[in-house]
Structure 1
C-alpha cells in the first residue's frame, strides 16, 4: 500500500507532524508501535510546554522573553546546543498554543506545587494523556489512518531518499516519511553498552528505571545510524534523567514518582555522604541533573533527607517517605551507617548560615565552609519527624539522535534528504546536548513535529520540491 506521508511514532511530535500534513491536504498514515491503550509514548506522562511570551497570556503570567529562555537553555546545556535550532524552538513555542487549541488541547493555571513555572510553562488540562487523546481525535477527524501495534523494524532508503518501511513483514511505501519514534531509553542492552562498567565493577544501567514507555527501543534510530549511516548527533549517555523513587515501577511511573524535596534538604549516597549542591538553582532548572548524579554513586542509589519544616513545600510523591523521630533511627531504617550518617547531618547543620528562607527565590540561606556547599535554602535538619526517600536514576528520554537542520530533514553525509524527516526525541539532541529545563522536550517535539509534517506534505504534494526552512 502507499500513502503521501508516513509518520512513524505515536507521541506528541508524531501527532503534530500527522496533523500538519493532513491540514496541508496530504494522505497520512501513522504507525504506533504500542497498543491503543498505551499510545502516546512519553508524551502521555507530560504536563506542560515551556513557552516564550513577551507579555502575560491567559494561563501564563508576566513575560518570558526569547533571550531569557535562551539563557536558561544555554545554562542547563553548558553550551552543548545548536543556537539556531534552539532559538527556532523558542520562537515556535510562542505561537503554537492557538494551533494546539484548535486540535482540542486545553490549558490550565499551574498547580500550587509546581514551583517556579507559572511564568514559563503552560500546563495541559488533564495532562499529557488528555493532550495525546485530543490529538488522536483530531487526527481521526482529518482522515489520518492510524495503526496500532505496528512497530517498524527497518526502512528502505536509496541515495538518501525514503522508499518504504517494513512492519511485521509488510512493506509500506510512501512519498515522504517522518521519523518520530522516540529514543532508546527502553532498550536495556543499548543503555548497558552506552554506560559500560564503572570502576567499582558495576553496570550502572542495570539500576536505571524508565519513567515512560516500554516501547522506545531505539530500533529505527540504531538502524538509521548503523545500517544507513545517517548523520548522528549527541552522546549516548546523555539523557533527561531524574532522581525518582526507588520503589517506582520499571516502566511508566511517570511524574508522580519524581522526588521534589531535594532542594529543601540534603541528599546522601549509600556511604551516607553528600555529593552535590542541593540548592544550586531553582528545581525546574536542576531536577533533571539528579538522575545522572545518582547514576554515578555506589549502587546507583541515594537518599533525599528532609525534616518537618519541609512538609507542604513540595509536590508529594506517590509513595510516603521513611519516617523517624531521630536521625540515628532514620539511618537504621535506611540501612545506612548510623555514625557516618549522623556525622554528615551534624556537619551540614553546623555549616548552615542563618538567613531569610524563601523557597520562591534564590535566598541567602547557605552553608559556610562545607564541601560540597549548599548555595540556597540551607536550613538545619533538626525538627522531628525526619523523612527520607530512596532514589534511583529515572530515564525519561535519551539524547543520541539524528542530526538535522531547520527543515527537520534527516542528513546523510552532510546532505539533507528531500523526503525523510525527523522530530521529537529522535532529534532532540540537536538542542539538548546535556541537561534539561522543565517543559522544553514538548517545545522541541511540537516545533519540529510541525516543521517535519509541513515539509513532508509539501514534498509529497510537490514532487521534486526541496523542503524549506522554517523562520
Structure 2
C-alpha cells in the first residue's frame, strides 16, 4: 500500500509530495489535468512573498514579521487566523534553500514600478518553471505521478481517510493530502455563491478565470458535504481586474491591467467608484476585480494619459488610444458628456505636490467623492488611453478548516491521517483581499507541513531519500 496519496498537481501538492518522499514515504500524486496543463494555478504565478530581517540573496533591505503581518491584516480586514498566518510568514523566511534544492531558481531583485524588490522573491522563468522543476525532482526521487485522474470522492472511516475514488478507480493509502484547488472554474458554483444582484444580473456570468480550467471544486464540495469543517465566504476570492478581452481560462499575469493607480477607473456610466490611489498596487490590485464585479454589467474602464506610459507593466493587448477625451469615450462606448465631465471634475480636484509612484506621495484630490489619496495628477496630456476591465478570478477562498499540522477537521476534531494544503485551505489565512505572492507562501508552508505530517502519520521512521543523480 502507498504511504502517502497526494491529490492535486500544483505548488502545494508538489511541496507535500516532495516532503513526504524526503521523509522516506512512498508517494502517489494524482493530477486532474493532462501533463501539458499540469500545475494548476501555480503555473501562472511569478513570486513568493518572503519575510526577512535583513538583505538576503534576491531580496533587498528587510521585511520583518510584524510588517508582513500588518500588511496581511490590512488586506484581509482582520478576517484571518493570526496563529496560522504567522506560521506562514515565518515559514516564508526559510523555504528558499529547500526550493533551490529541488531545482527552483530565483532572479535578481526587481525594481521600478513593481515595488516588490523588498518583499517578494521572483522565480526565474515564472511559475511554469517552478512547477516543472518540482515535477522533475519528484520523478527523480521516485514519486509516482498520474495525470488526467480527477478525484471525485473520498472514502472515510469516521474521521480517518481510507481511499480516494476517481470514476471507477480506487486508490488506497495510509495517509492522504488534499491539494486539489478551489472552485473558480465551476461557473454554476460561482453563480450560486454570488447570486443575483439588485439589477437582476448574475455577476458570475461575466467573470473570466485567470487560472486553470481544471479547478471545478468537485473534491472540495464532496468534503464539505461529507462533514469536513469549512471556512471562508464562497463569494470571496483572489479577484483581479483584467483585460476584458482576455481568454476565458488561463490568461495568467499578462492579462492584468496595472495602470489603475496612475489614472482613474470609471464604470459603464462613466462614473468613478473607488479610490484608485489607496495604497501600493501589489497590496491593492486584487481588490479591483471584486469592485468591478459590483458595477453595472461587471465592467470598468481604466483611463490614463501619456504621463503614465512607461510607469507600469504593459498588458499584452494595447488599449484604446485617442487624442481627445470625447474620442476616447466613443471608442470605449461610454456616454461622452458624462465621461468628459468625470475627467474634468477629477482634474479640477487634483492637488499635485511631488509625484512619486514609488512612495505614498502627496498628490491627492480635494472635494471629490470618491477621493484619490495618492498619485493624483490631472489627465490632460494627450494621447489618452483606455482599457476595458472584467473581474478575473484566480482562486476562491472557501476551504477546509485546518490547524498548524494541516489536519482536516470533522466536527472540530482533527483527522489523524487526512491533511490539506494550498487553495483548499487558504481561506484560513485569507478571509478576503490579497497581497502579491502570499498565495504561494501559504501553499509552500502548508504543503511542506502536510507532506511531513502525512509521512509521520503513515508510520515512516526514517528519511533521507534523495534524487537520483
TM-score range, shorter chain: over 0.9
Preserved CA contact (<8 Å) 2:25 2:460: no
Which residue pairs with 2:140 in the alignment?
A: 141
Which residue pairs with 2:174 in the alignment?
A: 175
1:145-177 per-residue CA deviation (whole Å, 9 max, x = no partner) reads 000000001110111100001112111100000
1:391-416 per-residue CA deviation (whole Å, 9 max, x = no partner) reads 00000000000000000000000000
Q: Distance in 1 between matches of 2:103 and 2:459?
A: 27
Preserved CA contact (<8 Å) 1:156 1:162: yes
Which residue pairs with 1:298 in the alignment?
A: 296
Query: Residue 382 in 1 paired to residue 402 in 2?
Result: no
In structure 2, do the counterparts of structure 1 residues 244 and 197 end up closer, same or farther at CA, with 3 Å as the change threshold? Answer: same
Aligned to 1:371, which of 369, 372, 376? 369
Q: Distance in 1 between matches of 2:316 and 2:84?
A: 37
Aligned to 1:456, which of 448, 454, 457? 454
Preserved CA contact (<8 Å) 2:24 2:460: no
1:297-446 paired onto structure 2 within 5 Å = 297-446=295-444
Which residue pairs with 1:73 in the alignment?
A: 72
Preserved CA contact (<8 Å) 1:238 1:433: yes
Which residue pairs with 2:95 in the alignment?
A: 96
Preserved CA contact (<8 Å) 1:113 1:315: no
Quote the offset at 1:462 in angstroms: 5.0
Q: Distance in 2 between matches of 1:241 and 1:427?
A: 17
Number of residue-to-residue matches in the alignment: 461
Q: Distance in 1 between matches of 2:323 and 2:79?
A: 45
Q: Distance in 2 between matches of 1:17 and 1:23?
A: 10
Which residue pairs with 2:54 in the alignment?
A: 55
1:341-366 per-residue CA deviation (whole Å, 9 max, x = no partner) reads 00000000000002100000000000
Where does the alignment leave 5 or more consecutive residues of structure 2 unmatched? Answer: 462-469
SS at match of 2:28: strand
In structure 2, do the counterparts of structure 1 residues 275 and 177 end up closer, same or farther at CA, with 3 Å as the change threshold? Answer: same
SS at match of 2:118: coil
Which residue pairs with 1:64 in the alignment?
A: 63
Preserved CA contact (<8 Å) 2:23 2:460: no
Which residue pairs with 2:215 in the alignment?
A: 216
Quote the offset at 1:115 in angstroms: 1.4
1:248-287 paired onto structure 2 within 5 Å = 248-287=246-285
Preserved CA contact (<8 Å) 2:59 2:109: no
Q: Distance in 1 between matches of 2:162 and 2:113?
A: 45
Preserved CA contact (<8 Å) 1:8 1:14: yes
Normalised by the length of structure 2, the TM-score is 0.98
Q: Distance in 1 between matches of 2:112 and 2:3?
A: 45
Normalised by the length of structure 1, the TM-score is 0.97
Preserved CA contact (<8 Å) 2:112 2:358: no
Quote the offset at 1:111 in angstroms: 4.2
Preserved CA contact (<8 Å) 2:11 2:42: yes
Preserved CA contact (<8 Å) 1:50 1:442: yes
Which residue pairs with 1:10 in the alignment?
A: 9
Where does the alignment leave 5 or more consecutive residues of structure 1 unmatched? Answer: 464-471
1:119-198 paired onto structure 2 within 5 Å = 119-198=118-197
Q: Distance in 1 between matches of 2:159 and 2:315?
A: 47
Q: Distance in 1 between matches of 2:113 and 2:262?
A: 15
Quote the offset at 1:112 in angstroms: 4.6
Which residue pairs with 2:34 in the alignment?
A: 35
Preserved CA contact (<8 Å) 1:106 1:124: yes
Quote the offset at 1:291 in angstroms: 0.2
Quote the offset at 1:385 in angstroms: 0.4
Preserved CA contact (<8 Å) 2:111 2:117: no
Which residue pairs with 1:235 in the alignment?
A: 233
Q: Distance in 1 between matches of 2:155 and 2:252?
A: 35
Preserved CA contact (<8 Å) 2:243 2:388: yes
In structure 2, do the counterparts of structure 1 residues 113 and 145 end up closer, same or farther at CA, with 3 Å as the change threshold? Answer: farther
1:36-82 per-residue CA deviation (whole Å, 9 max, x = no partner) reads 00000000000000000000001100000000000000000000000
1:102-121 paired onto structure 2 within 5 Å = 102-112=101-111, 115-121=114-120
SS at match of 1:108: coil
